[in-house]
Amino acid sequence: MFTRASLAIVTAVVAASTAWAGALIESRVSTCGTINCAGETIRGTHQATEPFVSQIFARAGECLRLDVTQESADTALRVVGPRVNFTAGSNNRDAGDTRPLLQLDALPTTGWYTVLVSLQGAGNTVVRFTLDYGRYPGGNANCQS
């Protein structure tokens, strides 16, 4: 009986800690100047009526680059800062490229930024995408137009 109870407790703790850790992603700061270099690649799915939501870490003064490099349908990207007065969004790069891109230079606050990727417009579509997340020193080429 003791073995079954121990196994149940260990399984519950591992399942809970895995779910908790999955939403927090932290990339190292890199000084490289090639676009999307040395960051994290996140493969995500926007379910039919539920956006992809995760939290990423960045420090004040850094350059934060969030780049949807692949998408199976038109997506939108929104970032909400650790303070309520900071938000940024992107729907498209330009008329011919529907992939969203955010280049945030000289971030105002250190902390966890909430990232949302969702379907652009109405619909009940499942969207698969790849999001590149990188942290760089302020003024880095990854945050230049």
**For 111-133, what is each residue's pLDDT tens digit?**
999 999 988 877 778 999 999 99
51/37 Cα distance (integer angstroms): 26
Phi, psi angles (nearest 5°) of residue 66: -120, 115
B/e letters for 59-90, b = 16+ CB within 10 Å, e = fewer, are: eeebbbbbbbeebeebbbbbbbbbeeeeeeeb
pLDDT value for 3:
52
CATH of the domain at 48: 2.60.120.380
Question: How many structural domains does the chain have?
Answer: 1
Q: Between residues 4 and 99, which one has the greater pLDDT?
A: 99
Pull the structure tokens for residue 145: 């137009």
Looking up tokens 């969702």 gives 118
User: Does a structural domain hold residue 2?
Assistant: no
User: Does a structural domain hold residue 73?
Assistant: yes
pLDDT value for 25:
87
Residue 101 lies in domain:
24-143
User: Does a structural domain hold residue 43?
Assistant: yes
For the chain, the average pLDDT equals 83
User: Does a structural domain hold residue 132?
Assistant: yes
User: Does a structural domain hold residue 50?
Assistant: yes
Is the pLDDT at 33 greater than 80, yes or no?
Answer: yes
User: Does a structural domain hold residue 66?
Assistant: yes
Is the pLDDT at 43 greater than 50, yes or no?
Answer: yes
